[in-house]
Amino acid sequence: MGDNMPKLSSGLIIAGAYADKIRRTLFAQLRDLVRQGRVSPQKIAYAAGTLNRMLYTILVEKLKVDKGDVVRIRIDYDITDEGEIVWNYDTLELEVFRRVPQEKIAEIIKEAIARAEEIVTAAVAYNIEKIGETEDGDVVYTIRLDEREVGAVEIIPINEELAFLKKGAVIEPSPVIIERMKLDIKERSIEEAVKESIATMARTGRHVEVSEATKVINYLRNRVAAKPVTEERYEEYEETS
């Protein structure tokens, strides 16, 4: 690790847009290293996804921020000789501009840092529900997190023991597109297999911006004439350091 770590700062941002802002800021900061071949876009996207998973736990699950609340996020990171982005969670600072005592924020951050590895690797507790079948027999499922519809996936049933995940996407806790997976459905339902696979792929799939994941979700929902989900867009505040 270097003595002078680079710092990522989101500036003042509407809470509903933090995931995209983290991703865009990290790509902007490391643009030159990508050009030099020292860091790959895939590793930047993965690092943004892991940080967004941590932020989701703190902001959404613990602090219960509304999407219209204003937040500012700062954290130091380093880059290894292998081009891996390593977050220094001990330097994570969050400001939430609403009536949340700073002491409570600091306490929740401290608890999350102590569980950082567990949080960023833990399976997300998604709920899966069939919403329809396509004309060619594929099955489309909606993906929920609590009561929110946060994704969709298209499955091709093969036989009693095997199914194929054709395409899917989720937008929480970090936007990810999922493609082409075999699903072992021996002694369990397709729903159970999909739920387990989605939870895994939410960590290891292709990390994208919310708009790209939403486009995939609505394409799949349209395949079975389901109402599209709306992408909530928010204007950013002028960034300050």
Q: What's the gap between Cα 4 and its chain centre?
A: 28
Residue 157 sits in the same domain as residue 60: no
Q: Going by C-beta distance under 8 Å and a sequence separation of 6 or more, which residues neighbour residue 219? A: none
235: in domain: no
79: in domain: yes
pLDDT tens figures, 1-52: 445 789 999 999 999 899 999 999 999 999 999 999 999 999 999 999 999 9
Residue 211 sits in the same domain as residue 154: yes
Low-confidence ranges of the chain (pLDDT < 70): 1-3, 99-100, 121-123, 199-200, 202-204, 231-241
CA distance 72 to 103: 16
Q: Give the burial string for 82-112 (b: 16+ CB within 10 Å, else e).
A: ebebebebeebebebeeebeeeebeebbeeb
Q: Look at the pTM and tell me if it is higher than 0.85.
A: no
DSSP-derived 3-state class of residue 64: coil
237: in domain: no
Query: What is the reported pLDDT for 43?
Result: 94
